[in-house]
Amino acid sequence: MTKTTITITRPDDWHLHMRDGEVLKHVAPFTAKQFARAIIMPNLNPPVTTVVKAVEYLDRILGAVEGTDFEPLMTLYLTDNTSADEIIAARKSCFIKGVKLYPAGATTNSDAGVTDIRLCDAALEEMQKAGLPLLVHGEVTTPEIDVFDREKVFIDKILQPLTLRFPELKIVFEHITTKEAADFVLQAGNNIAATITPHHLLYNRNAMFQGGLRPHNYCLPVLKRDIHQQALLAVIRSGNKQFFLGTDSAPHARHKKESACGCAGIFSAHAAIEIYTSIFEQQNALDKLEAFASFNGPDFYGLPRNTNSITLIKEDWQVPDHYTLGDDTLVPFLAGQTINWKLAEKN
Ligand code: DOR
Ligand code: ZN
């Protein structure tokens, strides 16, 4: 029998760009409505490189979600100069839940990122000791490497050697996009996990070129071939607990996307859990949704699972063409399209 409602433990988003200032105020309520907690990416300008900056940012986020019980899980932005002392401070703070590795130049606001992972050995050593996860943007930045191969090359050149040097380090391979990444996580130990976005499950690279150039389907790591999309779908059908929900929702104003040099990032916070639910249903895997969305993430991070729940109703609704973003507008993922699951109003 086809389901018409589904109730699951309240989910969390294990990879989210909430931004700052005016944008933060507009996008934060979308996430707070659906998710209990979210891992907040530190790629602000300037980036969140210290515990002091993280606590200030936490305060601004809490201001933007006032009246809700949403809990931001903060991260630090790893640089060549991140000291072991900063990691110790992060561990003691208790509210820093991970440290993000952006290879320098890989994506939005990554210029201050890491130029050579070996420069981070002292920090990584301390993280390994503390059980503080390294959250990895897994792409090499070498201009000669084809943009579609950057994740695969990253595994071979950076990630695999890193796991040999720090065998106990907890690592989240963020927003995986390839069969190679899925296979890497599958053969790795339980200290290695991965997040998967709704857009990498729903689309392959054809979506960027459907009848013309589609800037709102452009993100990093870029969408890959169909075989990779299929590998990610197989992973979620399998119910393997090393994989969990991370939207990578990354808002950019419309004019920054529809530009001669458009920004990477897909905003999906407006409908994230509904989109994941549709995908799991389409894969005949609705029974695997709750673990992916609500259990595997907290279990990996060593945090309690949420105790309340949300209900989704099988009901068509149309995604708006845009949302307001102060004086700008924001074009959401699946703008104008119909989604067939809807979060119940009272949750
Ligand atoms: O598409 C992306 N957008 N990928 C990232 O890694 C960063 C993000 C952003 O911050 O806009
Ligand atoms: Zn991201």
Question: Mind listing the pLDDT tens digit for each residue in 213-230?
Answer: 999 999 999 999 999 999
Neighbours of 277 (CB within 10 A): 26
Cβ neighbours of residue 198 closer than 8 Å, sequence gap 6 or more: 247, 268, 272, 275, 276, 279, 333
Q: Count of alpha carbons within 13 Å of 202, Cβ hemisphere only?
A: 20
Q: What's the structural domain count of the chain?
A: 1
Backbone angles phi, psi at 253, to 5 degrees: -55, 150
Please state the atom number of ligand 1 nearest to the C-alpha of residue 106: 6
- Residue 77 bridge partners (DSSP): 100
pLDDT tens-digit series, residues 288-337: 999 999 999 999 999 999 999 999 999 999 999 999 998 999 999 999 99
Active site residues: 248
The pLDDT of residue 76 is: 98
The mean per-residue pLDDT over the stretch 48-70 comes to 98
**Which residues have C-beta atoms less than 6 Å from ligand 1?**
17, 43, 107-108, 137, 219-220, 250, 264-265
Residue-number span of the structural domain to which 225 is assigned: 5-346
Instruction: Select from 219, 224, 259 the residue to mutate for testing ligand 1; criterion: most ligand atoms less than 8 Å from CB.
Output: 219
pLDDT band at 347 (very low <50, low <70, confident <90, very high): low
Instruction: State the closest ligand 1 atom to the C-alpha of 221, by its place in the atom list counted from 1.
Output: 4
DSSP states of 108-155: TT-TTSBS-GGGGHHHHHHHHHHTPPEEE------TTS-GGGHHHHHI
> pLDDT tens digits for 285-300?
999 999 999 999 999 9
Ligand 1: distance of its center to the CA of 288 in Å?
Answer: 27
Nearest by Cα to 4 from 293, 316, 335: 316
| Ligand 1 atom closest to Cα of residue 251 | 11
Residues of the chain above pLDDT 70, percent: 99
pLDDT score of 250: 98
Angle formed by the axes of helices 121-130 and 84-93, nearest 10° = 30
Compute, in angstroms, the gap from residue 192 CA to the centroid of ligand 1.
22
pTM: 0.98
**Amino acid, res. 249:** S
Read off the amino acid at residue 229.
Q
CA of 37 to the centre of ligand 2 (A): 16
The domain that holds 151 is classified in CATH as: 3.20.20.140
Q: What is the pLDDT of residue 2?
A: 77
